[in-house]
Structure 1
Amino acid sequence: MPPAIEATGLRKAYRDLQVLDSIDLRVESGTVFSLLGPNGAGKTTTVRILATLTDADAGRARVAGHDVRAERSAVRRAISLTGQFAAVDELQTGAENLRMMARLSGLSRTAADRRATELLERFDLADAGRRPARTYSGGMRRRLDLAAGLVRDAEVIFLDEPTTGLDPRSRQELWQVVRDLAEGGTTVFLTTQYLEEADLLADRIAVMDAGRVVAEGTAAELKARVAGHRLDLVLATTADYERAALRLAGRAALHRSRETLTLGVPTDGTAAHVRALLDELDPERTDIARFSLHTATLDDVFLALTEKEQLTHV
């Protein structure tokens, strides 16, 4: 099947600020794709271009088989977009919100009523459908917002940081919605700052920093690219910490904290490599108070690939 999303050489600048610097993306149909990066990395701008809300300065993109510049209307008919904040009318009930969106999408009154009922059931909001949206929890508002974007069946759904500000329970509820959508064959394009979210949901992940894609792959591939494991070292004193950090100058580190006197360094996890690192960083065997070995996480990938200048600062 052709890809659900394909972008080549996307560039975007606002005056002197280069927001996107030659972005290439390919998202297969029926998968969950996560765009992961810090604030200002260019995630939302990428979504806005793919959703036809903003024109790229250069490059090409196709969504659901349609060119985002030449075939805007066809793209918009094929997609749904949910932004960072729930856009629901809090004075209306959940059912009224959905019926309104269905009518605005061109459905008849009867069809709008039927679709609203279906979506309330699908998003576990049937019992709350007659209540004003202002009485909903944050997670319920986000589910209602997502349901409103699906009054017409969409081939591709863009979720721009959909769990921002939600409590852990509400985040998990929305994660299940995303899983259900993907299992139903919908392509989900998810932007997030939450590493756990990308790890749990995404089939593939692209890591963005300063307007560029700096790495792409499955969660396992990205973790393996940085290191199989992380060796956390707790130094005995501030002077010991600074001495060990100096020995690491110019080399990759996955974590640095002067406050806790902790350094995290990549390792393959073998006893031989761990011993070699301990001997290299503490040749007198007096500086390191204790150490622990962990499997590498997406946090390690994120820090190593997006904040190298901070990681090399002592």
Structure 2
Amino acid sequence: MDKANRKLSSWHGRNLSHAGRLVLVKSVLSSQMVHTLIVVNVPREVREEFDRLRKRFLWAGHENLTGGKCKVNWPTVARPLDLGGLGVLDIDRFARALRLRWLWQQWEMPNAPWADMEIPCNDTDKLMFAAATRIIIEDGATTSFWHCAWAKGQRPKDIAPDIYAASSKRKWSLRDALTEQAWVRLVDLQQIRTAEHLKQFVELWVITQSVSLVQNTVDRIIWKFNASGVYSVASAYRAQFVGHSSFNLKALIWKPWGPSKCKIFVWLVIRNRVWTSDRLAKRGWPRDPVCPLCRHQPETALHLIADCRYSRRI
């Protein structure tokens, strides 16, 4: 935060257009936290404060940010260009994408000095990693029996949470757990007292019976969101936007040549975030309801840009 504030103190945001501020936000401010995000799970309060700092500079420069100056909400701004945003990094999603590298490196470098140390990944990170990867079981030595998503794309601890809680050894590899069904002997069967517990036990038993290990062949992991099957921060970041509606704004606005400030203005027009008469009316502000160009139709962003006969003639 101190590094970012030092940058802002040397910039004259009031003298920059929105396009100029956007460049500084994307290329300078958003990079201040990258190194920290790789190694530390930064508290949510710090990430929110950093977002407020970026948001204030983008929309208001050095002035105080008010609702009128914040033209578009920040979650929309922090989307990729083809999803209707401005391409500013979403710190929460980007931080998770960086942290997932630790889980990938645990597979790639199991003998690294830090492999047995605590890594800065929470359970949400591990759930996303399990959903974004596919494990090909060979000898089972690398795959964790409880914590890896080898069971039809799910983790056994999620399939049978009560059985996981009753197990006395939770760090076994798949090979150790399946050798003579050792995982069964380590489950305290006295804790299986309900039908739900028994259902979980049987379901996990059936899954383990279908696994065949291949000796002298190392397990493999594939990243689903990359054609090469190898993890990358860019693909992990993009995967967190699955389900968002895509737009053709990248080809319509951002790819063609033109001044950046004009592109920002067109983006605001498409989102109906310019102060035309129809929007002023919603706030009860003084206005002229008629289009100042044709003097016939009500003034709206769509009318001014596309429907007004004067604009169409130009």
The alignment's TM-score, normalised by the length of structure 2, stands at 0.24
* Structure with larger RCO (C-alpha < 8 A, sep 6+): 1
Structure that is richer in helix per residue: 2
Structure that is richer in strand per residue: 1
Please identify the structure whose Cα radius of gyration is greater. Answer: 2
